[in-house]
Amino acid sequence: MRLAAAAVALLTMAATAAGCGGAEPGPRPQTKLPLGAKHDLVYGFNDNSVARGLLTPESESALAARAGAEVVRLTLDWRAVEPSADAYDFSTADATYRALRRRGIRPLWVVAFAPDWARDQDPPCPADCRAPPARSHEREWDELLALTAKRYPRSAGIELWNEPNYANFFFPEVDVKRYARLQRRGYKAVKRARPRMPVFNGGLANFLEAAPGQVPIGRFLSDLYEHGGKQTMDALSIHIYPGDPRRSAVRTSLGTVIAARDAAGDSRRPMWVTETGASTRNERSDLRWSESGQAAELGRIRDLLSRVRGVKAMLVHTLVDEPGAPNRTEAGFGVARAGGAAKPAFCRLARFEGKRGCGR
């Protein structure tokens, strides 16, 4: 997902290079990325348009297929799926899964966010509370993951949380030891239910500087490895946003991740970029891409990722713009406008996949 607060924080941080206090910066980034001959990438979208009421399962799957997507990353929000203990509602996920599979697209499920009954009550949580489960409810976390693996067998995989290095998604504060425990339990739960289902860590936000509520991606990944992360993921999920049209953070972010991965003796671990994107909306022109600029930036990112050894996938955030909200950054990441009309980025990405149809 690139949810609103995370996207705005990343864009603002990249523009201002602000950073203060908090975690150490982590490993030095590679000064030279491990580039090789171009290779194919698993390609698709990070998209929650159905859950947000912007698209139906059928229209989402049709639009993704028109763009040539192989995978769509979807949030399986625990709060909505199990609003009270043992009272499950998979109806939206079921409909979305069926629609995607009919078009040959595999979902990548991001399972996250404990419902009120399953989280700690102290400290009080904000209205949109994205918190881990309480220790006393970790078994229910295991159960949900096992159910997901069994229910959606032809998925691309299951991702354990979203951006756990950002307190906005791990209330009340980033806690790598606590997250590593959830990843360890989640990995075991999925593998017991469906041994061949791929399991990903929670995609890490590419913060490059320490700031309140934000742990730099390299530092968090190094700490995750120290807490057993190498044994509890099949692939490494990372979010690589350029942040600023004037100076992209993509190369630095990749180098930082690769340095942390290799320092942990895990250089063969495949990497999936499960979120990347560029927004065409922001009240500040220096943080806003033109539509043609968005297309060019995504083309550049795709070209780079296809040459970095070990990168296996690129999922673009996101399919459609949110209607209205002309100055809100999160509302402009779509490669199609609200209503489904293609932006130039949609057409460029579709051409990479050999798709000619572009437009409405």
CATH number at residue 247: 3.20.20.80
Task: Decide if 19 is inside a domain.
Answer: yes
DSSP 80-111: HH-SBTTB---HHHHHHHHHHHHTTPEEEEEE
Task: Decide if 358 is inside a domain.
Answer: no
Q: Which residues of 275-295 are buried (b: 16+ CB within 10 A; e: fewer)?
A: bbbbbbbbeeeebbbebeebb
Extended beta strands in the chain, E state? 42-46, 71-77, 106-112, 157-162, 199-203, 236-239, 271-276, 311-317
How far is C-alpha 82 from the chain's CA centre?
A: 22
Q: Which residue from 133, 209, 199 is spatially nearest to 165, judged by alpha carbons?
A: 209
Dihedral sign from CA coordinates of 32, 36, 38, 40 = negative
Q: Which residue from 219, 231, 232, 228 is spatially nearest to 260, judged by alpha carbons?
A: 219
CA distance 29 to 218: 8
Task: Decide if 247 is inside a domain.
Answer: yes
Domain range for 340: 4-352
Number of domains in the chain: 1
- Segments in the chain below pLDDT 50: 1-23
- Do residues 242 and 301 touch, judged by C-beta distance below 8 A? yes
Residue 15 has a pLDDT of 31
Q: Which two tokens stand for residue 106?
A: 């595999």
Residue 313 has a pLDDT of 98
Q: Which two tokens stand for residue 161?
A: 């949380």
Cis, peptide link before residue 172, omega less than 30° from 0: yes
Q: Which residue from 176, 173, 171, 168 is spatially nearest to 201, judged by alpha carbons?
A: 176
Task: Decide if 178 is inside a domain.
Answer: yes
Task: Decide if 167 is inside a domain.
Answer: yes
Instruction: Kindly report whether the global pTM for this prediction surpasses the value 0.75.
Output: yes
Residues 6+ apart with CB under 8 A from 22: 210, 211, 212, 214, 215
Residue 242: HSE in the Cβ half-sphere, 13 Å Cα cutoff: 26
Task: Decide if 360 is inside a domain.
Answer: no
Residue 26 has a pLDDT of 64
With both helix axes pointing from N to C terminus, report the angle between 57-66 and 91-102 in degrees, rounded to the nearest 10.
30
Task: Decide if 52 is inside a domain.
Answer: yes
Residue 360 has a pLDDT of 52
DSSP 112-148: E---GGGS--SSPPPSS---PPPGGGHHHHHHHHHHH
- Secondary structure letter of residue 154 according to DSSP: T
Q: Which two tokens stand for residue 337?
A: 């406008």
Task: Decide if 22 is inside a domain.
Answer: yes
Q: Which two tokens stand for residue 348?
A: 């460029």
